[in-house]
Amino acid sequence: MNGSGWHFSVSQFLLPKAGSLASECEDAAALSLKQGRFCVADGATEAYDSRRWARLLTKCWAASSHLLTREEFEPWLSALGDRLERRWTRRALPWYAEEKARGGAFAAFVGIAFIPSEKYLAWQAVALGDSCLVHLRNRTIVNALPISEPEAFGYHPTLIPSKLHRQQGIGEQLTVRSGKVASHDTFLLLTDAIAAWYLRMSLDDSPRVHDLAQLLDSRDTLGFVNFIEQERDQKRLRNDDVAIMRITLEGPPAHAVTV
């Protein structure tokens, strides 16, 4: 992204569910300012080693130089699944872990890449599962994917599997969307619990959305922890791991484009 004329401002928080250690958090986030790539993932709690799978997906996607279209996604995913499988086979697992490992790991994923050109900055997002991208312009939601309604969460979405035999046709199930960036656009990457909360609070025009934005502005980790605890205590936010990454872009004022 060097020389593109655009400036990225990034804030992120990662928090485990109440009662869990930070090391037990199954959400993951990664970014590459050089590549202009940002992503979050949510490992499925009931599956084997999903925390590692979520971290592997985010780390490798952020570092990739390819857009990873539907056609490119499956070969890329197969290589990662094979990498995780080899790690498992090198370890002596107890019988109950071996049984669970046969089913593989699963994770929800959403990522966004920014692509500069001579005339404008484009964005392309890919998602599978219930981790979401929310695109804000002038503090108004103009895009939300792959889920745009708070009521749509909790219906067992398709997740990204680590096992190769489960990956066939997975690229066809990806949500892929693209658009043009305007200066001061904001993009939020959110795992499911905080995504459902954000869409609901936005729909209700709740001041808590602004409170969250202020915490992201200040990067106040303790304040964020207190904020999440309050929302959980009030039953507005489901007790689950939370990953949130906010990317705000500033560019030449001439970039006043439509979505």
Neighbour-count burial for 118-147, b at 16+ CB within 10 Å, e otherwise: eebbebbbbbbbbbbbbbbbeeeeebbbbb
pLDDT grade for 59, boundaries at 50, 70 and 90: very high
CA–CA gap between residue 199 and residue 189 (Å, rounded): 12
Average pLDDT over residues 22-47: 95
Q: For the domain bounded by 7-250, which CATH number is listed?
A: 3.60.40.10
Range with lowest mean pLDDT among 65-74, 87-96, 208-217, 221-230: 87-96
Query: What average pLDDT does the segment 17-32 reach?
Result: 96
Which of 166, 191, 165 lies closest to 58, judged by CA?
A: 191
Q: Which pLDDT tens digit goes with each residue over 101-144?
A: 788 899 999 999 999 888 889 999 999 999 999 999 999 999 99
pTM for the predicted model, two decimal places? 0.93
Q: What is the dihedral of CA 89, 167, 243, 58, to 10 degrees?
A: 70
- Chain-centre distance of CA 185, in angstroms? 18
**Cα separation, 128 vs 126, whole angstroms:** 7
What letter would DSSP give residue 22?
G
Picking from 156, 228, 218, the residue whose alpha carbon sits closest to that of residue 197 is 228
Q: How far apart are CA 112 and CA 37, in angstroms?
A: 6
| Percent of the chain predicted with pLDDT > 90 | 72
- Domain definitions of the chain by residue range: 7-250
